[in-house]
Amino acid sequence: MKIKLELYGASREFSKKDYLEFILKEKSSINDLRNEILSFIDKNFKGNNNFKRLVETSKFCSEENNIVSDSYKITRDQKIGIIPPIGGG
Amino acid sequence: MLHAKIIDISKEKIEIDKAKKFIASSKFGASIYFVGTVRDQNDNKKVTGITYDSHDALVVKSFEEIYKEAETKFKFENIAVFIEHIKGYASLGDTSIIIAVACKHRAQAYEFSRYIIEEIKKRTPIWKKEHYENNESEWLKGNSIQTR
Protein backbone atom coordinates (compact mmCIF):
# COMPACT_ATOMS: atom_id res chain seq x y z
CA MET A 1 0.00 0.00 0.00
CA LYS A 2 1.13 3.51 -0.73
CA ILE A 3 0.81 5.96 2.14
CA LYS A 4 1.12 9.67 1.66
CA LEU A 5 2.18 11.01 5.05
CA GLU A 6 1.11 14.65 5.36
CA LEU A 7 3.53 16.67 7.49
CA TYR A 8 2.51 19.27 10.06
CA GLY A 9 4.31 21.39 12.62
CA ALA A 10 7.85 20.34 13.46
CA SER A 11 7.55 17.25 11.25
CA ARG A 12 7.74 19.60 8.25
CA GLU A 13 11.51 19.54 8.88
CA PHE A 14 11.54 15.93 7.61
CA SER A 15 11.16 17.04 3.98
CA LYS A 16 11.21 20.07 1.69
CA LYS A 17 7.84 18.87 0.43
CA ASP A 18 4.81 18.86 2.72
CA TYR A 19 4.53 15.08 2.63
CA LEU A 20 6.51 11.82 2.61
CA GLU A 21 5.57 8.59 0.87
CA PHE A 22 5.90 5.11 2.30
CA ILE A 23 5.13 1.67 0.93
CA LEU A 24 3.60 -0.57 3.58
CA LYS A 25 2.53 -4.22 3.59
CA GLU A 26 -1.20 -5.03 3.43
CA LYS A 27 -3.03 -4.59 6.77
CA SER A 28 -0.24 -2.60 8.31
CA SER A 29 -1.04 -0.62 11.43
CA ILE A 30 -0.27 2.92 12.49
CA ASN A 31 2.42 1.43 14.69
CA ASP A 32 4.03 -0.11 11.58
CA LEU A 33 3.89 3.28 9.86
CA ARG A 34 5.50 4.90 12.90
CA ASN A 35 8.34 2.36 12.69
CA GLU A 36 8.80 3.11 8.98
CA ILE A 37 9.09 6.81 9.77
CA LEU A 38 11.65 6.07 12.48
CA SER A 39 13.67 4.04 9.94
CA PHE A 40 13.42 6.99 7.53
CA ILE A 41 14.86 9.27 10.25
CA ASP A 42 17.67 6.80 10.88
CA LYS A 43 18.57 6.69 7.19
CA ASN A 44 18.14 10.34 6.28
CA PHE A 45 18.92 12.24 9.48
CA LYS A 46 21.48 9.93 11.14
CA GLY A 47 18.94 8.92 13.78
CA ASN A 48 18.37 12.53 14.91
CA ASN A 49 17.05 12.01 18.44
CA ASN A 50 14.83 15.10 18.42
CA PHE A 51 13.14 13.93 15.23
CA LYS A 52 12.73 10.39 16.59
CA ARG A 53 11.26 11.73 19.84
CA LEU A 54 8.86 13.83 17.76
CA VAL A 55 7.68 10.76 15.85
CA GLU A 56 7.30 8.76 19.06
CA THR A 57 5.14 11.45 20.68
CA SER A 58 3.00 12.18 17.61
CA LYS A 59 -0.54 11.01 16.93
CA PHE A 60 -1.87 10.18 13.49
CA CYS A 61 -4.94 11.32 11.60
CA SER A 62 -6.84 9.24 9.04
CA GLU A 63 -8.11 10.47 5.69
CA GLU A 64 -11.55 10.79 7.36
CA ASN A 65 -10.04 13.31 9.79
CA ASN A 66 -10.11 11.06 12.83
CA ILE A 67 -7.25 10.68 15.28
CA VAL A 68 -6.47 6.97 15.15
CA SER A 69 -4.76 4.62 17.60
CA ASP A 70 -1.53 2.69 17.05
CA SER A 71 -3.53 -0.48 16.40
CA TYR A 72 -5.61 1.12 13.60
CA LYS A 73 -5.30 -0.99 10.45
CA ILE A 74 -4.55 0.77 7.20
CA THR A 75 -6.44 -1.18 4.55
CA ARG A 76 -5.87 0.84 1.38
CA ASP A 77 -3.73 3.52 -0.22
CA GLN A 78 -4.45 6.69 1.68
CA LYS A 79 -3.29 9.95 3.15
CA ILE A 80 -2.33 9.89 6.82
CA GLY A 81 -1.48 13.06 8.73
CA ILE A 82 1.20 13.09 11.40
CA ILE A 83 0.05 15.20 14.35
CA PRO A 84 3.02 16.29 16.47
CA PRO A 85 2.43 17.76 19.94
CA ILE A 86 0.30 20.89 19.55
CA GLY A 87 0.70 24.41 20.87
CA GLY A 88 -1.58 26.86 19.12
CA GLY A 89 -4.06 29.47 20.25
CA MET B 1 -24.94 29.14 16.68
CA LEU B 2 -21.32 28.71 15.66
CA HIS B 3 -18.95 30.17 13.11
CA ALA B 4 -15.62 28.30 12.93
CA LYS B 5 -12.87 28.94 10.42
CA ILE B 6 -9.14 28.86 9.74
CA ILE B 7 -7.90 32.06 8.12
CA ASP B 8 -4.97 31.76 5.71
CA ILE B 9 -3.50 35.20 6.27
CA SER B 10 -1.69 35.17 2.95
CA LYS B 11 -5.17 35.37 1.39
CA GLU B 12 -7.52 36.87 3.97
CA LYS B 13 -7.55 39.05 7.11
CA ILE B 14 -8.72 38.09 10.58
CA GLU B 15 -11.06 40.87 11.67
CA ILE B 16 -12.95 41.52 14.87
CA ASP B 17 -15.66 43.33 12.91
CA LYS B 18 -16.69 40.00 11.38
CA ALA B 19 -17.06 38.59 14.90
CA LYS B 20 -19.11 41.60 16.00
CA LYS B 21 -21.48 41.17 13.07
CA PHE B 22 -21.85 37.44 13.67
CA ILE B 23 -22.78 37.66 17.34
CA ALA B 24 -24.89 40.84 17.12
CA SER B 25 -28.43 40.23 18.39
CA SER B 26 -30.81 41.89 20.82
CA LYS B 27 -31.34 38.45 22.40
CA PHE B 28 -27.94 38.75 24.07
CA GLY B 29 -27.09 40.87 27.08
CA ALA B 30 -23.38 40.02 27.25
CA SER B 31 -20.59 39.70 24.70
CA ILE B 32 -16.99 38.64 25.33
CA TYR B 33 -14.15 38.97 22.83
CA PHE B 34 -10.95 37.00 23.40
CA VAL B 35 -8.16 38.12 21.08
CA GLY B 36 -4.83 36.27 21.06
CA THR B 37 -1.84 38.22 19.70
CA VAL B 38 1.84 37.58 19.01
CA ARG B 39 3.98 38.76 21.92
CA ASP B 40 7.64 39.78 21.81
CA GLN B 41 9.16 37.32 24.24
CA ASN B 42 9.03 33.63 25.11
CA ASP B 43 11.39 31.62 27.33
CA ASN B 44 13.73 34.63 27.58
CA LYS B 45 14.07 34.85 23.80
CA LYS B 46 13.14 37.94 21.79
CA VAL B 47 10.45 36.89 19.36
CA THR B 48 9.97 38.75 16.07
CA GLY B 49 7.04 36.73 14.72
CA ILE B 50 5.31 33.37 14.63
CA THR B 51 4.41 31.05 11.77
CA TYR B 52 1.24 29.13 12.53
CA ASP B 53 0.63 25.75 10.91
CA SER B 54 -2.70 23.97 10.95
CA HIS B 55 -4.47 20.77 9.98
CA ASP B 56 -7.43 22.76 8.67
CA ALA B 57 -10.11 20.07 8.62
CA LEU B 58 -9.22 18.78 12.08
CA VAL B 59 -9.08 22.31 13.47
CA VAL B 60 -12.61 23.13 12.31
CA LYS B 61 -13.80 19.72 13.53
CA SER B 62 -12.27 20.35 16.96
CA PHE B 63 -13.89 23.83 17.15
CA GLU B 64 -17.26 22.23 16.40
CA GLU B 65 -16.74 19.47 18.97
CA ILE B 66 -15.66 21.92 21.66
CA TYR B 67 -18.68 24.12 20.97
CA LYS B 68 -21.09 21.16 21.16
CA GLU B 69 -19.51 19.93 24.38
CA ALA B 70 -19.74 23.38 25.92
CA GLU B 71 -23.41 23.57 24.95
CA THR B 72 -24.05 20.23 26.67
CA LYS B 73 -21.93 21.11 29.70
CA PHE B 74 -23.33 24.58 30.41
CA LYS B 75 -26.87 24.21 28.99
CA PHE B 76 -27.12 27.93 28.22
CA GLU B 77 -29.96 28.90 25.91
CA ASN B 78 -29.37 31.24 22.98
CA ILE B 79 -25.65 31.50 22.48
CA ALA B 80 -23.56 32.68 19.57
CA VAL B 81 -19.90 31.74 19.19
CA PHE B 82 -17.40 32.96 16.61
CA ILE B 83 -13.98 31.26 16.42
CA GLU B 84 -11.29 32.06 13.86
CA HIS B 85 -7.60 31.13 14.02
CA ILE B 86 -4.95 32.13 11.54
CA LYS B 87 -2.39 30.08 9.69
CA GLY B 88 0.73 31.57 8.14
CA TYR B 89 3.19 34.21 9.35
CA ALA B 90 2.17 36.79 11.96
CA SER B 91 4.30 39.71 13.18
CA LEU B 92 4.43 41.09 16.72
CA GLY B 93 1.03 42.33 17.85
CA ASP B 94 -0.83 40.60 15.04
CA THR B 95 -3.99 38.70 15.94
CA SER B 96 -3.73 34.91 15.93
CA ILE B 97 -7.16 33.97 17.27
CA ILE B 98 -10.54 35.58 17.92
CA ILE B 99 -13.17 33.95 20.11
CA ALA B 100 -16.37 35.93 20.46
CA VAL B 101 -19.17 34.68 22.68
CA ALA B 102 -22.56 36.27 23.16
CA CYS B 103 -25.30 35.06 25.48
CA LYS B 104 -27.88 36.32 27.95
CA HIS B 105 -25.68 37.02 30.97
CA ARG B 106 -22.04 37.98 31.63
CA ALA B 107 -21.18 34.99 33.82
CA GLN B 108 -22.27 32.63 31.04
CA ALA B 109 -20.21 34.49 28.46
CA TYR B 110 -17.05 34.39 30.60
CA GLU B 111 -17.49 30.69 31.37
CA PHE B 112 -18.17 29.66 27.79
CA SER B 113 -15.31 31.73 26.37
CA ARG B 114 -12.80 30.42 28.92
CA TYR B 115 -13.83 26.83 28.28
CA ILE B 116 -13.34 27.22 24.53
CA ILE B 117 -9.81 28.67 24.66
CA GLU B 118 -8.62 26.17 27.27
CA GLU B 119 -9.92 23.23 25.20
CA ILE B 120 -8.40 24.65 22.00
CA LYS B 121 -5.01 24.67 23.74
CA LYS B 122 -5.39 20.97 24.60
CA ARG B 123 -7.07 19.61 21.50
CA THR B 124 -6.76 21.73 18.39
CA PRO B 125 -3.99 20.79 15.91
CA ILE B 126 -2.24 24.12 15.47
CA TRP B 127 1.53 24.50 15.67
CA LYS B 128 3.77 27.52 16.24
CA LYS B 129 7.18 28.20 14.78
CA GLU B 130 8.75 31.15 16.59
CA HIS B 131 11.14 33.49 14.79
CA TYR B 132 13.84 35.30 16.78
CA GLU B 133 16.00 38.42 16.44
CA ASN B 134 19.09 36.51 15.31
CA ASN B 135 17.18 35.09 12.30
CA GLU B 136 16.87 31.73 14.02
CA SER B 137 13.54 29.97 14.36
CA GLU B 138 12.16 27.03 16.27
CA TRP B 139 8.99 24.92 16.39
CA LEU B 140 7.58 25.04 19.91
CA LYS B 141 7.50 21.67 21.66
CA GLY B 142 3.81 21.71 22.61
CA ASN B 143 1.79 18.92 24.20
CA SER B 144 0.47 15.69 22.80
CA ILE B 145 -3.01 16.22 21.40
CA GLN B 146 -5.83 15.15 23.73
CA THR B 147 -8.76 13.27 22.25
CA ARG B 148 -12.24 12.56 23.63
> Which CATH number covers residue A21?
3.10.20.30
Instruction: Assign domain B2-134 to a CATH class.
Output: alpha beta
Residues 6+ apart with CB under 8 A from B23: B31, B80, B81, B82, B100, B101, B102
Identify the band that residue B5 occupies on the pLDDT scale cut at 50, 70 and 90. very high
Local structure of B56: helix, strand or coil = helix
Say whether residue A52 is in contact with chain B using an 8 A CB cutoff: no
Q: How many angstroms separate the CA of residue A9 from the nearest CA in chain B?
A: 5
Reported ipTM: 0.92
Give DSSP secondary structure letters for chain A.
Answer: -EEEEE--GGGGGG-SSSEEEEE--TTEEHHHHHHHHHHHHHHHSTT-HHHHHHHHH-EEE-TTS-EE-TTPEE-SSEEEEEEPPB---
Identify the band that residue A55 occupies on the pLDDT scale cut at 50, 70 and 90. very high
A89 found inside a domain: no
Running DSSP on this structure, what letter comes out for residue B135? S
Per cent of chain B over pLDDT 70 is 99
Identify the band that residue A88 occupies on the pLDDT scale cut at 50, 70 and 90. low
A64 found inside a domain: yes
Q: Which of A9, A59, A65 sits opposite B127 (nearest CB)?
A: A9
Predicted confidence (pLDDT) at residue B36 exceeds the cutoff of 70: yes
Q: Which residues span the domain enclosing A41?
A: 2-83
Total count of domains within chain A:
1
Q: How many angstroms separate the CA of residue B135 from the nearest CA in chain A?
A: 17
Q: Is the dihedral of CA A24, A68, A39, B140 positive or negative?
A: positive
* pLDDT average, residue stretch B110-114: 96
Q: What are the tens digits of pLDDT across the range A15-46?
A: 999 999 999 998 899 999 999 999 999 999 99
* pLDDT average, residue stretch A61-77: 93
Question: Quick one: pLDDT at residue B141?
Answer: 87
Residue of chain B with shortest Cα separation from A88:
B126
Residues 6+ apart with CB under 8 A from B136: none
Q: How many angstroms separate the CA of residue A14 from the nearest CA in chain B?
A: 13
Q: What are the tens digits of pLDDT across the range B127-141?
A: 999 999 988 999 998
Domain map of chain B by residue range? 2-134
